[in-house]
Structure 1
């Protein structure tokens, strides 16, 4: 560990009074591995989970790294420290820099901080709670039945791509309220954009894009196509005679106003819709892919799920989803940026300009909260559950994923629908390894299963 002293500077104008000068504060950083910066950054870029796990074994629940993109970073694997970070004053620690706004746009909720972030979340929250979520259940079931209608029986196939199509079609219908040619354009644009954007999001942004043949140039081209489609969809929705009674997310956002009566700009709406389409598509599909990979290797779990699927209950299915999110974490970190002169985190004092990253996958595999963490066991989430900040697949605090409830219900309905219409063969094959798609982790073989119609 290291210690230093920083002093908050006095006001720029006028002679500083005795009260205007903050007392000096000691900076106390967590230990840092004795590994050259290049190898720290290379290891984190190539295999975040592996690198963090190895360093945590040596240095404990909190340590310091020098990382590409994020710079000087404190990595946290302790749920109590994660809670302290997530619940901290947003003026002291805000959105990590840089963040997904590099890919999603400056109008995305990922780009906003402080008051602007709070105001935007208030507009985004209504479509993802209560009655609104209930209305989407029919869409989830219909899209699952439509996609599974052509599944081959008795032959192994990857579930990840079908799940990608189900989740994309479901979020498109929830956002825009209808099907049509414009949505076909988005079905063509969004999947390659998500794949490319997910990879670029963890890389430094170049000064130049180097034209349409570079990855960043291709991403910009997809964005131009997307913006043109969204403009036409907004025009169509606003021209709808039933605009005031529509309950799709786009109409709700177009009708929403801030406290001062102002509305979101078209550019901001486009950025938010892109955020919803990306965040509500890949990560949910990846978790479902892992669901089929896991339950096909655990006959007892599968048998219990099948029996429950024929009833109106979902307690065990919910527990299974939570255990999948724990044991096969799709998004493995959530971060903040220190804006205050210093930020106290447990026994540590972190200076301004540092990033603080919660290593979610490591939190999910702590022996203290999850005995025998490598065992797949949905029973962990029945009855007395682990503490809130020991299980954080959607992050936490004011920046917790706004679509968490939407994703949870979607996974529940998709899994129930498949189990009601198909039997899934079990297998003794080794579990599939994790494959990094950039931001998200998916089953390396796509979550392969063999099914038969019931």
Structure 2
């Protein structure tokens, strides 16, 4: 067993940092081709990263001792956004307890009860889509998933507070690299270029704390089914509930993990469908007939061929034997979702978009892993998949999409996600006969700007 790090580029760390943040897909693909399934990259602020593309190595990480493979420590760069008590940045017993508290709202039965509200939100937005004019659908998907966060997760009903939240929350999760650097190093926010970051975060915090206070004071709290109400009601093993600060951190976590990521997955779904007429036609028939199995297959195949997140991370608290190397403590190991899911070893013709391969398939957690894996698998995975299927179904039932022979949109890096480089441009040919039927007036979501 080698004691040295796996092979990797000898370029200076600042150059590798620029490549990883500026051209991540090109750079990582280049390293993968040159060095194989285990290779090292050196980049700030993480330090040394070891990328893993072999399912056996990934299984070792996911099944490994969480005291050694520390996901919270690897995610600590996010603490400036999500807070120090977020389930994303905790490790050990604190993480296990927090995760236990947060599981009930994301149980399959609880999510299923939210599907009708998700559908109403999607239907109201789709009713405003332009006809016979090409537009980027990514902003519309962002508007829908934000509304799901506001109404289904936070449970806000006051129109004034909703309007304020719609303005305040997107800038928090849509910060550029410069702003994100300030969140990683809070001392920077006292300096002129970053003072706006502090104002944006403070306004979002103020509004979220107002929602928490309103939820606690709601006489109908016990009847509420939104995620925030369930978190307010939950207690730890000693019977203590979460503090307002802890609740704020979990809401910000859910916003970061469940808003733009789900919107991006939906955008890629439509980008793929309009380039595959046969699959689109079958998906429309599935939506009309209530065939959730095929719509779920479309979602899973999209997340395979266009994963929103390229990798997940664990920082080693002790040396480990992994991938034929003895890796030292302090290294970040990164199971590479983007490599595994497009490998011909696991998926025949891996670049082909083929939802049929997902129908009735038993997916292994080390070859289909868009939500990560092990004890740190995304809490909201079921919620996200149901939301994607429900929103997709509403789109297909309510509008007729034009197909296109345009080249596939490239994967563009946006923070830690990969988005369609043109915003997933589509054209609605016509509204379908039932397009305006069955939208409860009270559930109609307000406009979030033009398409």
Q: TM-score, normalised by structure 1?
A: 0.90
Tell me, yes or no, if structure 1 residue 259 matches structure 2 residue 237. Answer: yes
Partner of 2:188: 209
Q: Is the 8 A contact 2:172 2:204 kept in 1?
A: no
Partner of 1:175: 153
Matches within 5 A, 1:125-274: 125-180=103-158, 181-196=160-175, 200-201=179-180, 205-206=184-185, 208-211=187-190, 213-215=192-194, 217-274=195-252
- CA deviation map 1:125-184 (0-9, x unaligned): 100112210111011111111111111111111110111010010121112324222122
Aligned length: 428
Q: 2 CA distance for matches of 1:252 and 1:207?
A: 31
Q: 2 CA distance for matches of 1:194 and 1:117?
A: 23
Partner of 2:258: 280
Say which is worse superposed, 235-244 or 197-206, in terms of deviation.
Answer: 197-206
Deviation at 1:378, TM superposition (A): 1.3
Deviation at 1:199, TM superposition (A): 7.0
Distance 1:70 1:424, change over 3 A: same
Deviation at 1:258, TM superposition (A): 0.6
> Moved runs in structure 1, 4+ residues, more than 6 A?
none
Q: 2 CA distance for matches of 1:210 and 1:202?
A: 10
Partner of 1:394: 371
Distance 1:371 1:39, change over 3 A: farther
Partner of 1:19: none
Deviation at 1:99, TM superposition (A): 3.3
Deviation at 1:201, TM superposition (A): 4.3
**Aligned-partner SS, 2:25:** helix
Tell me, yes or no, if structure 1 residue 47 matches structure 2 residue 23. Answer: yes
Deviation at 1:245, TM superposition (A): 2.6
Q: 1:58 aligns with which of 15, 31, 34?
A: 34
- CA deviation map 1:404-437 (0-9, x unaligned): 1000000000001111111110000101111221
Partner of 1:16: none
Partner of 2:279: 301
Distance 1:245 1:349, change over 3 A: same
Q: 2 CA distance for matches of 1:203 and 1:331?
A: 22
Deviation at 1:91, TM superposition (A): 1.0
Distance 1:396 1:99, change over 3 A: farther
Gaps of 5+ in 1: 4-26
Partner of 1:21: none
Deviation at 1:385, TM superposition (A): 4.2
Q: 2 CA distance for matches of 1:290 and 1:199?
A: 27
Partner of 1:429: 406
Say which is worse superposed, 353-362 or 410-419, in terms of deviation.
Answer: 353-362
- CA deviation map 1:254-302 (0-9, x unaligned): 1111101222111111011011122111000001111111100000100
Gaps of 5+ in 2: 433-451
Deviation at 1:42, TM superposition (A): 2.1
Q: Is the 8 A contact 1:75 1:358 kept in 2?
A: yes
Partner of 1:12: none
Tell me, yes or no, if structure 1 residue 90 matches structure 2 residue 66. Answer: yes
**Aligned-partner SS, 1:330:** coil
Q: 1 CA distance for matches of 2:183 and 2:44?
A: 7
Deviation at 1:197, TM superposition (A): 6.5
Task: Mark the structure with the bigger radius of gyration.
Answer: 1
Partner of 2:439: none
Partner of 1:440: 417
Q: Is the 8 A contact 1:198 1:437 kept in 2?
A: no
Q: Is the 8 A contact 1:86 1:397 kept in 2?
A: yes
Tell me, yes or no, if structure 1 residue 453 matches structure 2 residue 437. Answer: no
Matches within 5 A, 1:30-45: 30-45=6-21
Partner of 1:352: 329
What's the Cα RMSD here? 1.9
Q: Is the 8 A contact 1:202 1:439 kept in 2?
A: no
Q: 2 CA distance for matches of 1:205 and 1:277?
A: 18
**Aligned-partner SS, 1:208:** helix
- CA deviation map 1:430-452 (0-9, x unaligned): 01111221111111111111111
Distance 1:77 1:156, change over 3 A: same
Say which is worse superposed, 222-231 or 197-206, in terms of deviation.
Answer: 197-206
Q: Is the 8 A contact 2:268 2:424 kept in 1?
A: yes
Distance 1:420 1:204, change over 3 A: closer
Distance 1:106 1:353, change over 3 A: same
Q: 1 CA distance for matches of 2:130 and 2:85?
A: 42
Q: Is the 8 A contact 2:304 2:342 kept in 1?
A: yes
Partner of 1:416: 393
**Aligned-partner SS, 2:175:** helix
Deviation at 1:202, TM superposition (A): 7.2
Deviation at 1:235, TM superposition (A): 2.1
Partner of 2:435: none
Q: Is the 8 A contact 2:77 2:184 kept in 1?
A: no
Distance 1:212 1:141, change over 3 A: farther
